[in-house]
Amino acid sequence: MADDFFVTGTDTGIGKTVFTALATALLAGDNKQTGVMKPIQTGCLERNGEKVAPDLEFVRRACGDIFDPEVLDLMAPVRLRMPASPHLAAAEEEKEIEVERIIRTYHKLSERFDNLFVEGAGGVLVPITEDYLMVDLMVELDLSVILVSRSGLGTINHTLLSLEVLKSRDLEIAGVIFNDPEPKNWGPVERDNMQIIEKISGNSVTGRLPHIPDLEDKVKKPGNIWEQLEENRNLKKFKKELKDLVNNGN
């Protein structure tokens, strides 16, 4: 468990899946036994009568399709159709999310992998049920948390609030990652965001994931995604930051 991480974000669509895919693929490319888990996937797709977890599919392709079908089934134990908060998506299907099943599944996967990245749904306080939040699952799994945040305007408030909640539950914060889903040239706002978040929270922004052009197309190609990214000079610094984060924590 010491080498497992819970990946959360300051919002939905913030880049958790991209970060998780790159982190999992990087370690897998170093021949480490690395896996991923998406405990709750909402917004599932239908394929041959089965629900497909799109976030897990993205990570699977990024890693070069190295996971066998049995393990893939464990990696996304709760799959719901409605693209909404888990509590609402489950109610829409008249289902109850069994937290104990999620926890049991995590322990099964953790036994199979040296490193495991567990990617949450939405942000820290997203309700899994009406009386059980995403942060409650983090506490029960007792994992170091990686917080993914955007770099631009508005991130100070969202990032500090998320860090405060994590600290209030005595969770270890492994690092904060700034992600740029769209092309962005860093200016005084972005640089100050990093500095003031570090000063107020006491947690360093441990990495910056720059925008990756045509990432969806690159992931569809065979093989590990990092083979497609070797010539991307903007990612060299992030690659080192990512390795440092996983190996050392914050």
**pTM score of the predicted model:** 0.95
105-139 burial string, b = 16+ CB within 10 Å, else e? bbeebbeebebbbbbbbbbbebbbeeeebbbbbbe
- Compute and round to an integer the Cα radius of gyration of the chain: 17
Burial class of residue 20 (count of CB atoms within 10 Å of its CB; 0-12, 13-18, 19+)? buried
- Catalytic-residue membership of 218: no
Domain that holds residue 174: 4-248
Span 27-61, pLDDT tens digits: 998 878 999 999 999 999 999 889 999 999 999 99
On the question of pLDDT at 237 being above 70, the answer is yes
Write down the catalytic residue from 38, 51, 199, 218.
38
Q: Which CATH number fits the domain that encloses residue 92?
A: 3.40.50.300
- The count of other CB atoms within 10 Å of the CB of residue 104 is 13
Span 138-178, pLDDT tens digits: 999 999 999 999 999 999 999 999 999 999 999 999 999 99
How many structural domains compose the chain? 1
Q: What is the mean pLDDT of residues 219-247?
A: 91
